[in-house]
Amino acid sequence: MDQRSSPRFRRRAEMQLGIVGAGRMGANIARRLLRAGHEVVIYDSDSAAVTELETEGAVAAASLQDVVSGLDQPRAVWVMVPAAVTGAVVEEVAAMMDVDDVVIDGGNSHFRESALRADTLAERGIHYLDVGTSGGVHGLDRGYCLMVGGDETAVKRVTPIFEALAPGVDAAARTLTAEGAPTAAEQGYLHCGPAGAGHFVKMVHNGIEYGQMAALAEGLAILRGANVGAARRDDDAETAPLAAAGAYRYDLDVAEITEVWRRGSVIGSWLLDLTASALRTDPELSRYSGHVSDSGEGRWVVQAAVDEGVPAHVLTAALYERFSSRGEGEYGNKALSAMRHAFGGHHEKVTTR
């Protein structure tokens, strides 16, 4: 039975949710819930963002306290603010809550902090759910992939929200052997385990994301370098002679190549779709400088791999490439040049491609 067409689902759908944070993610989460018929009470320090959502059906709150007061008990409040302040806001919201209320941390908190926070709040009878949320700016239309950690009771209660936010089973062909009513995972949300499990799984998800982005980026760079043999090069003691320069004289259309890979190839993916789209309008990627930020999960997943003793060459290299893109390897590079000068009398040569 498809839950969403059942009477019970409809009844459950009439849920109230408080949302703190009306940025890129929070606002779209609110919208997707409103469209599904849920009631949303929302607050953001940027009142314009809240006012806009009010016109779309949300109840505007003027403060955190307003969000909490505006909800019937037992309450559920979803905190969706920048990582740097998430912990503090969750604590602040929870401090205003009563026994059996649920606070949802939809940000990218560290799974260990989430587990500890859940324990602390549990002492006061407050449920804490950590909900890793993937989907980015496209989530409003595509739905969000939700990775949930926390206690069964709270997860069960908030499930209508998850059902509304998740993409639903039709978003992808069902896995061959899947039969019967779609599981939660097939609809796009999953109760992964106790508190912290949701953020753990989201952390690993983002690690994979870093790795897949890096694989694609490196490949594109190699495509673009395919005509390196056509460039004039100096032959001197400081430069590796190009092996078989004649072999590297292809002037490839990287944008068209990403387009062709979108159909039928083994590497078809949503990231590829987005990349093809970006390259179509800017094949030289000239609007970017190449300073790539990283956020917490990409770092934490490396630390988890190290803690677990599991080799993660690719995920880690992907992270380090971002560090390097921002010039963080400079001192080490200078040290290399200093060593080369010391043993071989080599002078630096600034290469240009």
Residue 159, both tokens: 């499930």
Residues 255-274 close enough to bind a copy of itself by CB under 8 A: 256-257, 259-274
Please classify residue 7 by burial: count the beta carbons closer than 10 Å to its beta carbon, then call 0-12 exposed, 13-18 middle and 19+ buried: exposed
Catalytic residue of the set 113, 209, 259, 321: 209
User: From the list 5, 48, 173, 180, which residue makes contact with a copy of itself (rule: CB under 8 A)?
Assistant: 173
Residues 300-339 close enough to bind a copy of itself by CB under 8 A: 301-339
Please name the amino acid found at residue 150: G
Please confirm, yes or no, whether 202 is among the known catalytic residues.
Answer: yes
Q: For residue 3, state whether it binds a copy of itself (rule: CB under 8 A).
A: no
The CB-of-339 to a copy of itself minimum distance in angstroms stands at 5
Q: How far apart are CA 340 and CA 159, in angstroms?
A: 61
Q: How far apart are CA 314 and CA 297, in angstroms?
A: 15
The CB-of-87 to a copy of itself minimum distance in angstroms stands at 10
Q: How many other CB atoms are found less than 10 A from the CB of residue 341?
A: 12
Residues 9-68 close enough to bind a copy of itself by CB under 8 A: 23-24
Match 């030289």 to its residue by tokens.
Answer: 284
Of the chain, the end-to-end C-alpha distance in Å amounts to 60
Q: For residue 155, state whether it binds a copy of itself (rule: CB under 8 A).
A: no
Exposure class string for 294-313: b at 16+ Cβ within 10 A, else e: bebbbbbbbebbeeeeeebe
Q: For residue 180, state whether it binds a copy of itself (rule: CB under 8 A).
A: no
Q: For residue 122, state whether it binds a copy of itself (rule: CB under 8 A).
A: no
- Judge contact between 251 and 282, C-beta under 8 A: no
Residues 58-117 close enough to bind a copy of itself by CB under 8 A: 82-85, 111-112, 115
Please name the amino acid found at residue 228: V
User: From the list 144, 150, 159, 160, which residue makes contact with a copy of itself (rule: CB under 8 A)?
Assistant: 144
For the window 226-255, what string marks contact with a copy of itself as x by the rule CB under 8 A?
x-x------xxxxxxxxxx--xx-xxxx--
User: From the list 1, 62, 95, 222, which residue makes contact with a copy of itself (rule: CB under 8 A)?
Assistant: 222
Give the active site residues: 202, 209
